[in-house]
Structure 1
Amino acid sequence: MLPWSRTARGLRPLAALLLAAAALAPGTAAHADAGPTKSAAPDRGWNDYDCKPSAAHPRPVVLVHGTLGNSVDNWLGLAPYLVARGYCVFSLDYGQLPGVPLFHGLGPVEKSAGQLDAYVDKVLAATGAREADLVGHSQGGMMPRHYLKFLGGADEVNALVGIAPSSHGTTMNGLTKLLDVFPGAREYVTENTPALTDQVAGSPFLTRLNEGGDTVPGVTYTVIATKYDQVVTPYRSQFLDGPEVTNVLIQDKCAADLSGHVAIGLADRLAFHEVANALDPEHAEPTTCLSAVS
């Protein structure tokens, strides 16, 4: 491949990021309905506010989607998987932009953490549980840490499981540096889709989030990552340090697993198996390649 071809291919993620900001800017969403949208999970047994946690699974599970995701599409694989194993499962929409339907997780991450706080309160009130467990993909595995650290979430949460979380931000293989090469690019993305620049490695939001340590007392943390992640890079930046932390590289469980950033959250049953282990560590079973069909 010619050098210029490699460069052009490498610029595509940045171009996609800028185009997403342009396409989702409130001023350009001429045909979208005004205000945040509400989506209801299909009849698969989750978001059932009559569900009462069992003795075997005493905490409700709240699923937190990633950037450009929503409460349904991100969880068409994992939510039924957990419901089938006896969990009360709930999912929220957060980070909505005015006039932008379906694609959420784009607003300021700090504000999204406040939405999560209110949603967990709603779930606990409905189920009668004292604590919840959180499972998030991408931004959804990082954003809850703001809630835990600054909004009192540690008193309401037992465990946080992050699937390919943007724990320490991303460099997108170095391409985020180009935001400062193109005049006005960083400002434009920040103004129109602030969650994107909040997740760039070294952002003011992430600097504050990670000051003084990655974890807070009283919460267990699990990170499930893939070495083929091309969105949150380097992939080891997803891992957390601190007590009560378990970092899992999915290829250490099955070298044949080729999941990237999206697939590990949407469809990877090995990752789902690790989620189940993290939610019920007393009954954890080894994850192997055969877990894909279990």
Structure 2
Amino acid sequence: MPMERQRALTSHRRPTAGRTPRRRSVRSLVSAVCVAAATALTCATVPSAAAQPAAPEPSAGHRATPDARRALLPPTGPVTSGPGITTFPLAVVASVPHPDAPPPGADDWHCRPTPRHPRPVILIHGTYENAFDNWNYLSPVLKRHGYCVFTPNLGAPPGEIFKATRHIPFSARQLARYVERVRAATGARQVDLVGHSQGGGALPRWYINWEGGADPRNPARNKVRRLIALSPGNHGTTFLGPGLLVKELGVMRATRPITGRAIEEVTQGDRFNYELDRLGDTRPGVEYTNIVTRLDEVVTPYDHQYLKAGPGAKVNNFTIQDICPADLAEHGAISYDPVAFQLILNALDPATAHRPDCELVLPLLGAPVDIPVR
């Protein structure tokens, strides 16, 4: 990559003093509508960010000894348990008072992977989402199945409700540091990534491709074993068509101080996507699973979410409706869809795979009845 192109793609600007109030005014409006209901829902059950301390950050590539790992751990903090919230809109509301809190079952920095599940699972939220609202349903499911679960908040300062809005390579570097923290704390050599939208496509793939997640010359040194994606932002989106016109007219660039840079980068035709894909969709030694819905109204066309396997990689592309025709999950509901959860568990542990049990799954709301996840 020419040096000037690399600098252009990987540089980022700090928000200026003039930009911050405009962005916060949007958040304040949403918060004013939601906060009363959210407080009633969550004050008794959601830990604050202060109550859930982050693990200290080791240097890149650090492999800690057992004694060093103990020194890296934070003081014991509460890790919430329970079934979690089972619909995305309620989880969004519940995240307002505590936008940096982990979902139930996540961020236990004393968790140790088992021989059955030797790799920690890192859940990566999507654009305008956060760890709490994106993973409130899935995180406790994975925890009950014996996985060590971690959920970073990326691409926004602490206190922001809507995250993953910044320059995607910036968020990918945050993810790179977070993976090192998880590896150091758990002693695991590799991790599995599960993501939604940007968090399943552009962000983790940039980390794998350009920020040390994979080593094409020696795949045995890869830090990522699997990337499992729900409605991933691969190859750019048209936003049902009008998104291309909005970008062409310069509206996205003009509104970047409010909407964030990432929304422009995930649009089809942006040079970010060219750089992300120019060496192919995959890297050797990484197994990719994409779980998509034909009803996706955000990442369009939906079949652009599929990946094509390159040398030494494996790709599984699933379309929800091919497995369960009555599943009406769209872009938001897919991260609250038990059918998708079963496919995630199958990808994490193929030896114990089960065909999902199919029931009606509704747009936005998910499943109205509890679908077994085995």
Q: TM-score, normalised by structure 2?
A: 0.67
Whole-angstrom CA distance in 1 between matches of 2:289 and 2:23: 37
- Structure 2 matches for 1:153-192, cutoff 5 A? 153-154=213-214, 155-180=222-247, 182=249, 184-192=250-258
> What CA deviation, in whole Å up to 9, does each residue of 1:184-242 have, x standing for no partner?
41321345410000000121111110112100001100000000000000000100001
Whole-angstrom CA distance in 1 between matches of 2:234 and 2:24: 34
* Residue pair 2:295, 2:329 contacting (<8 A) in 1 also: yes
Whole-angstrom CA distance in 1 between matches of 2:204 and 2:153: 13
The structure in which a higher percent of residues are helix is 1
1:263 and 2:333 are equivalent in the alignment: yes
**C-alpha RMSD of the superposition:** 2.1
Structure number with larger C-alpha Rg: 2
Q: Which runs of 5+ in 2 are unaligned?
A: 1-18, 29-48, 50-97, 215-221, 360-369
Residue 150 (structure 2) aligns with: 90
Task: Report 1 or 2 for greater relative contact order, CA contacts < 8 Å, sequence distance ≥ 6.
Answer: 1
Q: Percent identity?
A: 42
1:117 and 2:117 are equivalent in the alignment: no
CA pair 101-149 structure 1, distance change in 2 beyond 3 A: same
Whole-angstrom CA distance in 1 between matches of 2:113 and 2:157: 33
Residue of 346, 353, 366 corresponding to 1:284? 353
* Residue pair 1:189, 1:196 contacting (<8 A) in 2 also: no
Residue 286 of structure 1, CA deviation? 1.8
Residue 83 (structure 2) aligns with: none
Structure 1 residue ranges, 4+ long, deviating more than 6 angstroms after superposition? none
Residue of 283, 288, 303 corresponding to 1:236? 303
Q: Secondary structure at the match of 1:246?
A: strand
CA pair 180-131 structure 1, distance change in 2 beyond 3 A: closer
Whole-angstrom CA distance in 1 between matches of 2:188 and 2:345: 19
Residue of 134, 139, 149 corresponding to 2:193? 134
Whole-angstrom CA distance in 2 between matches of 1:173 and 1:69: 20
Whole-angstrom CA distance in 1 between matches of 2:262 and 2:305: 17
* Residue pair 1:189, 1:197 contacting (<8 A) in 2 also: no
* Residue pair 1:97, 1:106 contacting (<8 A) in 2 also: no
CA pair 117-230 structure 1, distance change in 2 beyond 3 A: same
- Structure 2 matches for 1:1-294, cutoff 5 A? 26-29=20-23, 39-42=100-103, 44-96=104-156, 101-142=160-201, 143-154=203-214, 155-180=222-247, 182=249, 184-192=250-258, 193-242=260-309, 243-265=313-335, 267-289=336-358, 292-294=371-373
Q: Which runs of 5+ in 1 are unaligned?
A: 1-24
Q: TM-score, normalised by structure 1?
A: 0.84
